[in-house]
Every structure is written in C-alpha cells, then in structure tokens.
C-alpha cells in the first residue's frame, strides 16, 4: 500500500474534504553505482565544509541566501513554515477553467488524490463528478516540501488527479529561445494533403500499454552481455534528414508502407508511429482463439449469426479493439470511456439492434 506524500484538505467554496497525495508514476530506469576506474571501490558523496574540508552532520546544515560576496542570510526550516500559516495543508480551489486552455508545456508532475477515510467518500465523489460533468479543472496552490506549486485538479474515472504546473515566468518563449522556427504556416497543397493522409492512416485509439521503454531494455541487455563476455552490437545510426526534393516520394512511400501493415520503426524508438494502424489484421486472444471483428456496418459476429456480441465475447477484446468497434458503431462519448464502459455500451448497442431487427 502506497504512503501519502502530503496530507491536507481540498476546499472549494465552503466545502472541504481531507485528502492525501500519492505519486501517480514511478521510474524504472536502470541504476548504476559510481566506481573508481579499474577497481570495485564505490564512490561516496559527502557533505564537507568548503573551508576546512571536514564532513558536516545533517543537523548542522542550514539554508543560506547570499546577499553579498561571502555574506549570507540564514533561514531556519521553522521560519519557512511560519510564513505559510494554514496554507501548507490546504489546496484551495480559486478558479475552474477548461482543460484544453492550459498549454501542455505548463504541466509537470502528476499525483493521485485520495480521501483520508470512508466518511469523506461522498464529498470526494461529489467534487470528482462535478469536474467530470463540467469538463473543467480546478486551479489551486499547494505548499509541499518547502515549495509552493500551482496545480490543476481534474477528474479521471473513479479518482481525482492533481498535476503541478509551471508558473508563467518559468515557461520560456519559443520565439526568443529557439534559433529557427517557420515564419509562416504550411499552405494547402499536395504535400500537406499527403501528410494529413499519412496521419489518418496511422491514427487509432490511445493505448499506453502498447508502448515500452526500448532504451532501458537495451541497457539491461548491455549489462547482461558484458557480464557474460558477449560481443556488443552497436545501435543503428539515426536516419538522414529528408530532402525537400524527395518529400513527396517519401510521403507516398510512408503511406504505402502503413497501409500494408508495415511498421515504420519499433514502438518507443524515434520516429515511431503514434498509434495502431486501422488496417492491421485482428490480433488473437491469449488462448489462441481468434477474436471477433466488426463488420462494415459495425456489427460483431455473435453466436448463431445474431450480429451482436455478448459481454463475454467483448471481454476478450483489447481496449483498442473495443474503441475501434465503438467508432464503427458511432457510440457517443466513447473517447472518455474506460474498457468496462466500452463493453457495456457495445453490449447495449447490440441489444438495441437485435430488438430493431426483430420488430
């Protein structure tokens, strides 16, 4: 069971609910120790006095702000806590805004928000449902670990999610920071039409489980190969930049390859396609049984040719396949549905078609 990184209350208006924040993600990078070359001796980092070279205990270390050369103002931890009375344990929602109005560059870390007890579930769910129905996010500030954060509180299925945001003065202006940017937008032409066609060919529903960190896999393989004394195969070089003269030919070749079910590159590698091809053949279930696929009219082949799939049959499909079937059948609200909700919606749609056909 995860431990809360922060506890306090969320307030909106006069309503408040005690909550805890939990890390929503975890890193899986391969960790290395530092060694002295030619030995197995570990390298340790120590906190030492710059003047005397002696190691200093953690309790004897304080924060100092330099106001002049060699002159510091010393700040104690308690003094930092005193200047944020009451606010260090409060997430007070001041505004509600549309999620799409927040540019992606502002988002930083993500946390799950959970109620601190069963007695707070009703108020917690009330806030979650209000955010979900309105499609808005709550903007609030939060003091955690000696820093104040701007945050966005939004609703996911069954859970509230809090994302820390960068302050406005922390976001750089690309026009000033980047050496080269297009001076104008691409006009309508064959090249843009083909680029849009390629995007459409490679489009599909978002399924994060289909992507994985291939670099970390290669690092683990490198460690294993060196431990076993095997030869190491170097990685392939990055592809050359596309020449403007060859752009049409490259675009057409990309479209042809995508339509043929070919992979541009492995998932997780630079330049990889963003999602599942619509033309890809249906996958098979773990037990080796072929999965049912939707027909042109979006009807699943169910038992005895009923034209509607049962819940058990739908349950054997991946979320991506369920989403594609929901798209074929024009199920309303499908982009916001979980896998279970997609199954229920498709099952209901199948029953309606059976009743219509019987009538």
Q: What is the mean pLDDT of residues 176-197?
A: 79
Which tens digits make up the pLDDT trace of 213-223? 777 887 888 88
**C-alpha torsion sign, points 252, 254, 257, 260:** negative
Q: Does the pLDDT of residue 285 top 70, yes or no? A: no
Provide the mean pLDDT of the chain.
79
d(CA 81, CA 69): 27
Q: Three-state DSSP class for 134? A: helix
pLDDT value of position 281: 36
Side-chain-facing half-sphere of 168: CA atoms under 13 Å: 0
Residue 189: per-residue pLDDT: 79
For 208: left if phi > 0, alpha if psi spans -120 to 50, otherwise beta; the answer is alpha
The pTM of this model reads 0.58
């Amino acid at each position: 069971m995860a431990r809360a990184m922060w506890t306090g209350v969320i307030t909106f208006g006069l309503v408040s609910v005690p909550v805890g924040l939990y890390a929503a993600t975890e890193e899986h990078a391969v960790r290395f120790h530092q060694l002295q070359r030619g030995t197995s001796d570990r390298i340790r980092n120590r906190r030492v006095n710059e003047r005397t070279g002696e190691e200093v205990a953690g309790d004897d270390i304080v924060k100092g702000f330099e106001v002049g050369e060699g002159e510091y103002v010393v700040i104690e931890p308690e003094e930092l806590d005193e200047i944020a009375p009451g606010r260090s344990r409060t997430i007070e929602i001041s505004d509600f805004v549309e999620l799409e109005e927040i540019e992606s560059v502002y988002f930083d870390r993500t946390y799950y928000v959970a109620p601190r007890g069963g007695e707070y579930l009703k108020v917690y769910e009330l806030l979650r449902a209000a955010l979900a129905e309105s499609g808005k996010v709550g903007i609030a500030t939060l003091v955690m670990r000696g820093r104040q954060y701007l945050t966005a509180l939004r609703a996911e299925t069954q859970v509230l999610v809090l994302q820390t945001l960068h302050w406005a003065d922390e976001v750089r202006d690309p026009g000033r920071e980047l050496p080269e940017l297009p001076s104008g937008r691409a006009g309508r032409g064959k090249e843009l039409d083909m680029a849009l066609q390629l995007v459409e060919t490679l489009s599909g529903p978002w399924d994060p489980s289909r992507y994985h960190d291939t670099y970390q896999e290669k690092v683990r393989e490198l460690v294993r190969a060196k431990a076993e004394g095997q030869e190491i195969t170097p990685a392939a070089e990055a592809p050359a930049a596309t020449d403007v003269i060859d752009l049409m030919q490259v675009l057409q070749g990309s479209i042809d390859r995508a339509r043929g079910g070919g992979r541009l590159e492995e998932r997780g590698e630079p330049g990889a396609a963003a999602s599942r091809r619509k033309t890809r053949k249906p996958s098979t279930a773990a037990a080796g049984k072929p999965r049912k696929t939707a027909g042109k009219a979006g009807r699943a082949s169910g038992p005895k040719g009923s034209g509607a799939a049962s819940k058990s049959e739908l349950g054997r499909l991946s979320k991506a396949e369920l989403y594609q079937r929901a798209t074929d059948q024009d199920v309303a609200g499908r982009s916001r549905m979980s896998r279970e909700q997609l199954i229920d919606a498709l099952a209901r749609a199948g029953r309606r078609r059976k009743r219509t056909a019987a009538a």
